[in-house]
A and B are shown apart, each in its own frame.
Chain A
């Protein structure tokens, strides 16, 4: 259709040098170049605005804040809580996600696999606030009724389960399980994708040599997909670090450093602390919260950069 629209006199001279198309090209090219540059500007603006807003915090004296704490002693427990919660979530989610990805890519019947893939993509888009209220309304009572007392009685000698066990279930463990459920679809989706990309010949060669199905997976699929799984895990970790609402709803926060996962005294996370405090803050308190946001931005930036490095290193496992 468009081809017939072009006037026939375009034939003799190779590039049509009419003014309109030149102008159109310039406008269109300029617009797209501008949009591209605007991306860079936006990101720079995010960093710049956060730094300007956070700046007064670093210069301020500890006595100017409520609680008389310096910024470092304020952000310390939050930073610890953020990393601890994300680490626990990843610890739970990663083995599960790899197993589910293997199940979908290599064990499940084809129709079940397609349905599951769709379901998992959908779950990745369910709002975090819904996960949060599910965690506090359903998961927390179950855990505090049957799991926490058991852990305290039988594994109480470990610092992680030292107790006293929370009866409300608003603990680090509940938050970590909910975070794990949230990041699981992300890690599963990426792992499934790389597992499915394993060259068919590698798999068949392994099977032809008499390997069982599991041996085939260990020899062909896992080495090939390893870097993909790692970068998926990094992305999940980044999501868990920045996750706000689920933690804000579930955790009962305290200003402590604690590895205890089943008590009511939990270190809060940076994101959840901002969500809880921001609506009621004013003045320098707002600047301090934005400064903690800057710290969070720096951590996730670092984790994502690491993930990209791992994934761009390619499927090195396949060659070795």
Chain B
């Protein structure tokens, strides 16, 4: 249908095979022209304006390559080259903020990325010094509790969906509810945990456990989805072979299905941890902020790394640089944790695969 629309006139078709193509010299000329045009926009001002140079160059290149190709190669080739240029420019433009983000976090975070930062708390600290020891402990406790709750919860749900309830109405309902849960905004999960704990412990309560419940609501659907997908990848032949030998169903699951899928399961769990370890909003609402270490998740406020990052930035104290440096160092710590978790997931997923599936 679309093909017929685009068939060019016969005369044009003939020439498009024989006519000259946009050779390398002309292509380089277009690139050089675009770069020079970009430079002209900041030369009068005297100082280099990198952002404007790059943007003008990209736009000029897109226009230039289209016009040049249109003249030499015809409309269809010109559009093709234009789209290649546009798609590549979009990619380059997108890379900028992302690289800038990583660079900024590393550069500013390294100011305070020292031993004091990891061994001291904020108790009694005004201005410089201080650290995030209490925040790291808090993050480990809250995320650890959330993992302890959501992994069995998510895994058993996935086992139900993949092994027991496959195709039933209940399983379908659970599946769509898991999808709904994936879309719950993190702050709403925080409000839910707050409301739940307010019911038992009275208004204004803050505790690490409430934060862990909020994170569990966010983490469980991620675990369910990953685990279900992995369990479905286990070949049915393995199950059938075990059944044929008279092994009961639960033993088949424990000894055959889970070990076969273990690599994927652990990867899924690690990625789920990476997702929730940086959650700020629910912890801001449920766990709050403390100046020192609190080891008891059932009593009182705790500090977690993301909340620490937030408060050190928006309420840095005097001088503000000290607080903001702490904030960037905490952000760097968070990003490093996420990266390490990602790498662990990657390594485990290849290392733990059963020999036959490698």
Chain A interface residues (CB < 8 Å from chain B) = 1-3, 6, 10-11, 14-16, 21-22, 24-25, 27-29, 31-40, 42-43, 45-46, 49-50, 52-53, 95-96, 99-100, 102-104, 107-108, 119, 121-123, 125-134, 136-139, 142, 146, 177, 181, 184, 206, 209, 211-215, 217-219, 235, 238, 241-245, 249, 271, 274-275, 278-279, 282-283, 286, 289-290, 293, 296-297, 300-301, 303-305, 308
Contacts and interface: CB of A to CB of B under 8 A. Distances in A.
B160 A36 contact: yes
B161 A49 contact: no
B94 to A, nearest CB: 5
Contact of B256 (A2, A36, A107, A211): A2
20 contacts: A2-B256, A14-B246, A28-B250, A32-B160, A33-B164, A46-B192, A46-B217, A50-B188, A53-B191, A107-B88, A121-B342, A129-B280, A129-B334, A142-B51, A206-B3, A249-B310, A274-B191, A290-B194, A296-B185, A300-B188
Contact of A46 (B154, B189, B246): B189
B180 A15 contact: no
A244 B339 CA distance: 22
Nearest to A307: B183
Interface stretch (B20-28, B30-38, B124-132, B170-178): B170-178
Nearest to A49: B195
A184 B176 CA distance: 25
Given A206-B3, A282-B203, 10 more contacts: A25-B249, A46-B184, A49-B196, A100-B91, A126-B338, A139-B97, A245-B284, A249-B313, A293-B191, A297-B184
A128 B217 contact: no
Contacts of B159: 32, 35
A140 to B, nearest CB: 12
Interface of A is mostly: helix
When A and B form their complex, which 9 residue pairs have the shortest distance between CB atoms, in order from nearest?
A127-B278, A242-B185, A35-B156, A99-B90, A28-B250, A304-B183, A21-B248, A244-B281, A32-B160
Nearest to B178: A39
A40 B177 contact: yes
A34 B156 contact: yes
Contacts of A35: 152-157, 159-160
B192 A2 contact: no
Contacts of B280: 127-129, 244-245
B288 A279 contact: yes
B76 A126 contact: no
B87 A107 contact: yes
Given A107-B84, A130-B334, A242 B191 contact: no
Contacts of B88: 103, 107
Interface size class of B (residues with CB under 8 A): 35 or more
Contacts of A122: 338-339, 342
Contacts of B114: none
B188 A297 contact: yes
A42 to B, nearest CB: 6
B328 interface: yes
Interface stretch (B57-65, B100-108, B140-148, B292-300): B100-108
A36 B170 contact: yes
B245 interface: yes
Contacts of B253: 28
A209 B3 contact: yes
A125 B342 contact: yes
A278 to B, nearest CB: 5
A215 B101 contact: no
A279 B283 CA distance: 11
A297 B171 CA distance: 24
B196 to A, nearest CB: 6
Among A2, A14, A139: residue with most chain B CB under 10 A: A2
Given A103-B87, A129-B331, A2 B278 contact: no
Contacts of A129: 278, 280, 306, 309-310, 331, 334
Contact of B328 (A50, A103, A133): A133
A217 B2 CA distance: 12
B97 A181 contact: yes
Contacts of A212: 76-77, 79-80
Nearest to B88: A103
Contact of B281 (A36, A95, A238, A271): A271
A127 B6 contact: no
Contacts of B97: 139, 177, 181
A1 B254 CA distance: 13
A238 B186 CA distance: 11
A128 B221 CA distance: 20
Contacts of A304: 179-180, 182-183
Contact of A39 (B94, B181, B198, B271): B181
B71 interface: no
B121 interface: no
A132 B153 CA distance: 32
Interface in B213-260: 217, 220-221, 224, 241-242, 245-251, 253-256
